[in-house]
Amino acid sequence: MRRKYFGTDGVRGRVGEPPITADWILKLGRAVGIVLARDDKRAVVIGKDTRVSGYMFESALEAGLAASGANVLLLGPMPTPAVAYLTRTLYACAGIVISASHNSFEDNGIKFFSANGEKLSDDVEQAIENEIDEPFVTVNSAHMGKAARVDDAAGRYIEFCKGTMPFGTLLSGMRIALDCANGATYKVAPAILRELGAKVHVIGNTPDGMNINDRCGSTQPKAMQEHVLQSGADLGIALDGDGDRVVFSDGDGELVDGDELLYIIACARKAAGTLPGGVVGTVMTNFGLETAFANLGIPFIRTAVGDRHIHRALIEHGWILGGEASGHLLSLDRTSTGDGIVSALQVLEIMAQSGKSLKELRQGMKKFPQVMINVPVSAGARKVFQDSDTINRAMLDVEAELNGQGRVILRPSGTEPLIRVTLEGADLSQVQRLAEQLADTVRAELGG
């Protein structure tokens, strides 16, 4: 069944526009309580990032859950992965995050975790959707839910993050330029790094409700890169607004993205004998990472874009490591979901133990040039695109010319009437020419 409200990661949109309205979020809270807490006496945990609209939606969710009879534990501003961790350790029946991740403050959204701190299954999300459209009925007063605040939530998460590092590992002497994106990590991330001994120069740690992800953070890392050079730091770390993504900069201000971080972690784990199986990426993972893993004898598979697909593939194969170029990395032996801080600590741990700089650690992977062209198409063009022999033949011709030294990705956008034409290869001029050639074919065939 096609879902009406849920996207790839919960519900997200512009604040004040359906469904991201206070009255709809109230209904959502009740529906979650009915589906996830009807026969469970444990509470539902709620955390949020620093958007000003978080106050309104926190109250709406609390009211809806209470109306269903569910108890609530309020964490306040906390990173998304912290909510996943605290859902498990507080023995809650579910966790809710109020966040639009790396989007600007005008947007907001609601994400969910199961009692195990993992994303909800499609079936559970469908059950919640079905309940939203039912009449809003409040339980009688004797069975109404209660709410309480968890005052030590930040401290619990800080200790958890430090505990993912081998005992005795210190970051003494490291100078780190840290960008918290004016988001949910603005307190905990600097505290963790400083308690581990690093000298931390922080930006993006003064949220005002409207400056989250504003020219800062992992999606706009230029501020972090410049901060590295200005502060004389050894490296830079940029998190996104809700703290589940991370990218780095080396000491020269050069960006180190999620694919390269995944390479660094996988190499270290293979050398230490702690990499069971292989690594999971997505269709957008750079071909250079696949090539580097092939040279190292590390199995590698791709999934659709999105951490839930990566997580599912890791579970199916019994593997533990995967991620995306965006910096959304999963290490299932350390935590149950993508965690920017925990991922960053793994890289810092490798640097501390090896004595190598970030620039040295990334040397073994050569990123292939990538060209993406967005081709506008009519709203009904998706079916024509899927069945077009002309486009399929053109794609096969391009793959033949690349001759195994690159790859082609053609996919419709999930949110816009676009076909995304993406090519990677060793020769940038060839990749640019072939991408334009293929985009012209898509344009001519679909009338864009």
Q: Can you list the alpha helix ranges (DSSP code H) found in 133-281?
A: 153-163, 188-195, 222-231, 258-272
Confidence of residue 7 (pLDDT cuts 50, 70, 90): confident
Examine the pLDDT at 217 and tell me if it is beyond 80. yes
**∠341-333-335 over CA atoms, to 5°?**
40
- Tell me which fold the domain 257-340+351-361 belongs to: Alpha-D-Glucose-1,6-Bisphosphate; Chain A, domain 3 (3.40.120)
- Asked if the peptide bond before residue 19 counts as cis, ω within 30 degrees of 0, the response is yes
Tell whether the torsion through CA atoms of 322, 200, 351 and 165 is positive or negative.
negative
Give the start-to-end residue ranges of the domains of the chain.
11-153, 172-255, 257-340+351-361, 370-446
Catalytic residue among 53, 99, 101, 343: 101
> DSSP readout, 97-128?
EE--TTS-TTEEEEEEEETTSSPPPHHHHHHH
pLDDT in tens, 398-431: 999 999 889 999 988 766 788 899 999 989 999 9
Alpha carbon distance 223, 211 (integer Å): 14
Residue type, 123: D
Q: φ and ψ at 168, to 5 degrees?
A: 95, -10
Class of domain 172-255: alpha beta
According to CATH, the topology of domain 11-153 is Alpha-D-Glucose-1,6-Bisphosphate; Chain A, domain 3 (3.40.120)
Instruction: Return the pLDDT at 414.
Output: 65
Q: Per CATH, which fold does 370-446 belong to? A: TATA-Binding Protein (3.30.310)
d(CA 126, CA 50): 28
How much is the mean pLDDT over the chain? 94
Mean pLDDT of the 54-76 span:
98
Q: What is the pLDDT of residue 346?
A: 98
Going by pLDDT thresholds of 50, 70 and 90, the confidence category of residue 448 is: low
CB 160: neighbour CB atoms within 10 A? Answer: 21
pLDDT of residue 392: 92
Given this model, what pLDDT does residue 382 score? 72
pLDDT, tens only, 303-352: 998 888 999 999 999 999 999 999 999 999 999 999 999 999 999 999 99
Catalytic-residue membership of 101: yes
Q: Give CA–CA dist 100/106, Å, rounded.
A: 9
Residue 279 CA from chain centroid, whole number = 17
Give 239's strand partners: 246
Residues near 177 by Cβ (< 8 Å), separated by ≥ 6? 201, 203, 224, 227, 228, 231, 233, 235, 236, 237, 249
User: Residue 219, class by beta-carbon neighbours within 10 Å (0-12 exposed, 13-18 middle, 19+ buried)?
Assistant: middle
pTM: predicted TM-score of the whole model, two decimal places: 0.92
Place of tokens 């082609």: 408
- pLDDT tier at 2, thresholds 50, 70, 90: low
235-251 average pLDDT score? 97
What is residue 412's predicted lDDT score, i.e. its pLDDT?
83
- What average pLDDT does this structure show over 244-256? 97
Average pLDDT over residues 227-233: 97
pLDDT at 377: 85
The predicted-structure confidence for 348-401, as pLDDT tens digits, reads as follows 999 999 999 999 999 999 999 999 999 988 767 777 787 889 999 999 999 999
Hey, do 11-153 and 370-446 end up sharing a CATH topology, with the first three levels equal?
Answer: no
How many CB atoms sit inside 10 A of residue 414's CB? 12
3-state secondary structure of 345: helix
267 φ/ψ angles, rounded to the nearest 5 degrees: -60, -45
pLDDT band at 41 (very low <50, low <70, confident <90, very high): confident
